[in-house]
Amino acid sequence: MPSEEIQGEFRKNTSGKRLSTMIMNDYLELHRRASEGAFVVWIAIIVPAELLGGFENVVYAVPESHAALCAGKGAGPVLCEKAEGLGYSTDLCSYARIDIGTAFDGGRDSPTFGLPRPDLLISNNNNCSLLVKWFDVYHRAWGVPHLVLDIPFCYQNQNDRDFRYIMDQFGTLISAIEEMSGQRFDMDRARESVRLSSEAFKEWKRFLSFAAHRPSGITAFDSFVQMAPILTSRGTRRLVDHYRLLADETGEQIKEGIFPVPDERYRLLWDNIAPWHQLRKMSGRLADLGANITSASYTYCIGALEGEYDPYEFDGNDPLAWLARLQNFSVCPHGLNLRGKAMKEVIGRNEIDGVVFASNRSCKVYSLMQMDQMRYIREELGIPCVMIDVDHADVRKYSEEAAFTRLEALLEMIEA
Amino acid sequence: MGGARCMASKGVNEVKSFPDSLAGLKSQGHTLIGCFPLYPPLELLHSFGLTPVVLWGLLQDITHLALSDRHLQPYACGVARSLSEFVLSRGSEFFDAMFMYNACDTLRNLPEILESSLGRNGTPIPLFRLHIPAVPLSRAFASVYLKERIRALIGELEKFTGKAFSKQAFLRSTALYNRQRRLSLDLEHLAAAGRIRFADCSGILLSAGRMPVDDHITILERTIREFNGRAPGHQGIRIMLSGILPPPAALLDAIERAGLMVAANDIAALRRSYGYLPSASADPGAYYEDLYRNRYPCTTILPSADRRLETVMQTLRESDVQGFIFVGEKFCEHEYFEIPAIKRMLEAAGVRTLELEIGMDNALNLDAYRTRIEAFAEMLRQGARGSRRNKDAV
């Protein structure tokens, strides 16, 4: 965890160490099962992995998550350049460029040796419709089937018509996987997978809830790093165990008076995808200023319905219905009002002093509402805000000094 | 019509500016509905007595983005930024309503931004939304969903206009728009035959978005009559243009001066908009299922991805073109994800390609564009000479 480096007394705990092992094992397991003949599916983040859990021998990989890992490990630029060398514009999402650069160079320079070649691609268009275009690149190059989940954007809460539409698509998806993989879908397996995800999300929210403590028990950077297994172990017992341990340990540290930023003077909220290449640097430099980004829209949305904060719990009945209802559990598919509603809730709960809007060239869907969102937070809620320029995975498009000039100005505004 | 008189008297490439066109229409009592690009259901809106205009091709008319810049970062595409600027600065002056659908991620983010800003200014404009399935409409549930959404839209339009949906009116509207599509293709063919400059042709075709369909039909008919009998006056190495919008007139001029001739296009505001003529139907659900399912492929119509390369290739072959110029809309990721695949396909087929990029500051870079276009034309000429020599040798 990045915070280990910035505060001598805040040590990497068991859940921090377990995370590294877990991610490494998840990728090794993915490669192993793929090499032994498992049906491999590449999915976009919001595609319901729990549905794939309804099959005995289907494994999944999330290219966005793999790209984030590459960026965090410093491999972003070299992998982006490979894609750019193939003709992909530098204006395209850096996740996509990293992933394309990896995929077309046999996994070289990737900390996970890339991802096993897919048998099926499943993208969706609510988080971002460019995922569809990105997955189409592989569909064309390798002739791998590509299925799209079309999830209508939420200007208001999901309505019945959209819910039914999503359920219908799940039915088609299941039939297609059955046909392609030769395996039968087992609803009970899927139900168990959903039950475990729901439980894991509750533990996740319990972990995030420690951001309400003064000083905060966590940083948003912890949550960025710790969200990784949601994308590699969704619907598993090990995910529940991990988040329970994470929340328990964080609670214990608070009781012992161990905090990531002990002399916390400014409590901030981050809006956008994590700046993967800056986690350590940014958290450390902020801590030196007495500032802690305690919360992030990128991670507090996980497991919640649009515009909400608390997790959407599984009632034990139809797992597909739970998945369909939760098909918007990230910020990007939410309209301005829903984003504002959730952010207002978190600002209140966690006693936020200022909001950092990270304007992210690589994620237009997240970013192209921020100027209005910022106006709302500043004018309606009276919370100081600042906008900094980032790119979530391409460090070449980020200027640390320019960002900190603005971050320091935000702290001055809070102080004033 | 003001627009038609203007073009007849001043030449085919003179089209009124967007604001002037709309001001003319307002003064004549049109109820204007401003539609977000790219492919709104114009026929349905028209059948309710509304005059739909499509909000793209505004760059020539908007040079300052003072209002848009308060809401959108500079890495939004020019279409979104100019649309926002126009709606925020003059929308309430012209539009009785607006319409948007899920064309792309940037456009889907705009409605609330515009609504809240106009609302704060005390000049709200009613906005209709539609979600067009991004999965193949051959799937029964997707077709059902589209039809439900169309029915819901009809209900909203009935409430807004105070008129009941009329099958006859809808049929009349669809016939008009199909006539417009057919004439647009005819005009394109005249350009491909060298009887009219593509720059003129493109200006007329793009103007469809800013005038009533029957006025546009009048202009198309008159222009086709005027140029149909003319001897081919412009020849050159045949190329195909691709992109979201046709390039600015100065760039088209540079292309022609370099000895190139635009014989085909794969431009969203042109061929992709009118390349398919749907079957007549009094049922809007069935009509739009046909249109959105079979329309000319576009990078933004996600289920058409598999057909796109094949269609581009077919258009190339039919038009006998030797070069392909991609005019990229800066920051349009839908387009940029597909370029490498298209380039690979074209290069394998022996078709040379050139990539240009148009941003908000394109006027400043015209000389740089010219140099690249001239170099491309020279490369094509050398290629043509080479292949002639090879033929002679054989």
Question: pTM (2 decimals)?
Answer: 0.94
**CB within 8 Å of chain A, chain B residues 69-88:** 70-73, 75-76, 80
Report the pLDDT value the prediction gives residue A12, as an integer from 0 to 100: 65
Q: Are B284 and B153 in contact (CB under 8 A)?
A: no
Task: Indicate yes or no: CB of B339 within 8 angstroms of CB of A87.
Answer: yes
Q: Nearest chain B Cα to A148, which residue?
A: B135
User: Are the CB atoms for A202 and A313 separated by under 8 Å?
Assistant: yes
How many Å lie between the alpha carbon of A190 and the closest alpha carbon of chain B?
A: 23
Which residues, numbered 151 to 180 in chain A, qualify as contacts with chain B under a Cβ-Cβ cut-off of 8 Å? 152-153, 155, 161-162, 165, 168-169, 171-172
- Spatial CB neighbours of A207, under 8 Å, sequence gap ≥ 6: A218, A223, A226, A243, A246, A247, A250
SS3 A134: helix
Query: Does the pLDDT value for residue B7 go beyond 60?
Result: no
Tokens of A352: 């936020």
Preceding omega of B291 cis (within 30 degrees of 0): no
* pLDDT at residue B249, rounded to an integer: 87
DSSP alpha helices (H): ranges in A158-186? 160-181
Q: What value does the mean pLDDT take over residues B353-369?
A: 81
HSE-CB at A244 with a 13 A cutoff on CA atoms is 11
Could you read off the pLDDT of A301-333 as tens digits, one per residue?
999 999 999 999 999 999 999 999 999 988 999
Asked if B185 has any chain A CB less than 8 Å from its own CB, the reply is no
Q: Does residue B11 carry a pLDDT above 70?
A: no
Separation between Cα atoms, residue B93 and residue B123, nearest integer Å? 9
- Model confidence at B360, pLDDT cuts 50, 70, 90, reads confident
Residue B2: pLDDT over 50:
no
Evaluate if residue B124 carries a pLDDT over 70. yes
Q: Which residues of A touch B333 (CB under 8 A)?
A: 91-93, 130, 133, 364
**Facing residues of A387 across strands?**
A357
CB-CB under 8 Å, B70 with A88? no
How many Å from the N-terminal Cα to the C-terminal Cα in chain A? 32
DSSP state of B333: H
| Mean pLDDT of the A359-367 span | 96
Residue spans of alpha helices (H) in B87-209: 92-94, 105-120, 140-161, 167-192, 198-206
| Per-residue pLDDT, A197 | 98
Residues 343-382, chain B: which have Cβ within 8 Å of A? 343
- Residue-level pLDDT at B367: 86
Q: How far apart are CA B270 and CA B320, in angstroms?
A: 19
Task: Give the span between the Cα atoms of B359 and B345, in whole angstroms.
Answer: 26
Q: At what angle do helices A400-415 and A279-288 cross, to 10 degrees?
A: 30
Other CB atoms within a 10 A radius of the CB of residue B233 amount to: 10
Closest CA to A313 of A238, A204, A213: A204
With contact defined as beta carbons under 8 Å apart, do A322 and A198 qualify?
A: yes
Instruction: State whether B70 and A371 contact (CB < 8 Å).
Output: yes
Q: pLDDT for B242-269, tens place per residue?
A: 999 999 888 999 999 999 999 999 999 9
- The shortest C-alpha distance from A140 to chain B (Å) reads 8
Local confidence band at B84 (pLDDT 50, 70, 90 cut-offs) = very high
What does the pLDDT read at residue A342?
97
Share of chain B above pLDDT 70, in %: 93
Give the integer Cα–Cα distance in Å for A261 and A2: 12
| pLDDT confidence of residue A176 | 98
Q: How far apart are CA B84 and CA A369, in angstroms?
A: 13
User: Does residue A408 contact residue A376 with C-beta atoms inside 8 Å?
Assistant: no
Q: Average per-residue pLDDT in chain A?
A: 95
Is the pLDDT confidence value at A411 over 70?
yes
Mean pLDDT within B58-85:
92
- The 10s digit of each residue's pLDDT in B288-315 is 999 999 999 999 999 998 999 999 999 9
pLDDT for the residue A373? 97
pLDDT over threshold 50, residue A7? no
Q: With contacts defined as CB-CB under 8 Å, which chain B residues touch A337?
A: 112
Strands across the sheet containing A120-124: A58-61, A39-43, A120-124, A146-149
Mean pLDDT across the stretch B66-75?
A: 96
**Torsion region of A114: left, alpha or beta (phi above 0 gives left; psi -120 to 50 gives alpha):** left
Contact B303 A148 (CB under 8 A): yes
Q: Which sign, positive or negative, has the C-alpha torsion A331, A332, A333, A338?
A: positive
Cβ pair B113:A372 closer than 8 A: yes
A144/A133 Cα distance (integer angstroms): 14
* Helix residue spans in A86-215 (DSSP H): 94-103, 130-142, 160-181, 187-209
Let me know how long chain B is. Answer: 394
Is the predicted pLDDT of residue B164 greater than 90, yes or no? yes
CB count within 10 Å of CB A359 equals 22
Question: Which residues in chain B are contacts of A133 at CB distance < 8 A?
Answer: 299, 302, 305, 333-334, 337-338
A9, pLDDT greater than 50: no
Question: Phi and psi for B269 in degrees, rounded to 5?
Answer: -75, -10
Residue A135 has pLDDT above 90, yes or no: yes
- Kindly indicate the confidence band of residue B377, based on its pLDDT and cuts at 50, 70 and 90: very high
A336 touches chain B (CB under 8 A): yes
Residue B41: band (very low, low, confident or very high) from pLDDT cuts 50, 70, 90: very high
Q: Do A168 and B141 touch (CB under 8 A)?
A: yes
Mean pLDDT of B212-241: 93
Whether A136 shows a pLDDT value over 50: the answer reads yes
Cβ count near B167 (within 10 Å): 12
Predicted local distance difference test score (pLDDT) of residue B388: 65
Among B302, B310, B345, which would you mutate to test the A interface (most chain A Cβ atoms within 10 Å of its Cβ)? B302
Q: Do A364 and B106 touch (CB under 8 A)?
A: yes
Res B9 pLDDT > 50: no
Mean pLDDT, chain B, whole residue set: 92
Name the range with the highest mean pLDDT among A203-217, B7-21, B195-209, B374-388. A203-217
Give the tens place of pLDDT for each residue, A48-82.
Answer: 999 999 999 999 999 999 999 999 999 999 999 99
Residue A132 φ/ψ, nearest 5 degrees: -65, -45
B 162-181 residues inside an 8 A Cβ radius of A = none
CA distance A97 to chain B (A): 10
User: Which of B77, B88, B108 is the best mutation test for A, with the most CBs of A within 10 A?
Assistant: B108
- A153 and B340 within 8 Å at the Cβ level: the answer is no
Model pLDDT, residue B385? 75
Cβ-contact B119, B108 below 8 angstroms: no
Q: Which residue of A has its CA nearest to B147?
A: A161
Q: List strand residue ranges (DSSP E) for A289-367, in order.
A: 291-296, 354-360
Q: Which tokens sit at B227? A: 């140029």
pLDDT for residue B233: 84
Element (H, E) at A349: helix A336-349
* pLDDT of amino acid B6: 34
Q: Average pLDDT of B13-36?
A: 91
pLDDT, one tens digit per residue, over A191-246 is: 999 999 999 999 999 999 999 999 999 999 999 999 999 999 999 999 999 999 99
Inter-chain CB proximity A165 and B141 less than 8 Å: yes
- Which region holds residue A49: left if phi is over 0, alpha if psi is between -120 and 50, else beta? alpha
Binary contact (A155, B129; C-beta < 8 A): yes
Query: What confidence score (pLDDT) does residue B365 get?
Result: 75
Instruction: Give the mean model confidence (pLDDT) for residues A101-123.
Output: 97
Tokens of B357: 């990029």
What is the Cα gyration radius of chain B?
Answer: 21
* Partner-chain contact A172 B141, CB within 8 Å: yes
Predicted local distance difference test score (pLDDT) of residue B394:
52
pLDDT above 50: residue A90: yes
Q: How far is A212 from chain B (nearest CA, A)?
A: 31
Q: How far is CA B224 from CA A233, B182, B218, in A?
A: 63, 12, 10
**B305 closest CB neighbour out of A136, A171, A364:** A136
pLDDT tens-digit map of A16-57? 889 999 999 999 999 999 999 999 999 999 999 999 999 999
Q: Which residue has the tokens 């040379």?
A: B352
Cis omega (within 30 of 0) for bond into B126: no
B307 touching A (Cβ < 8 Å): no
- Helices and strands: H and E segment counts in chain A: 18, 8
Whether the per-residue pLDDT at A368 is higher than 50: the answer is yes
Q: Residue A289 has which token pair?
A: 């200023």
What's the CA gap between B91 and B83, in Å, rounded? 10
Q: Is B134 within 8 Å of A125 when comparing Cβ atoms? A: yes
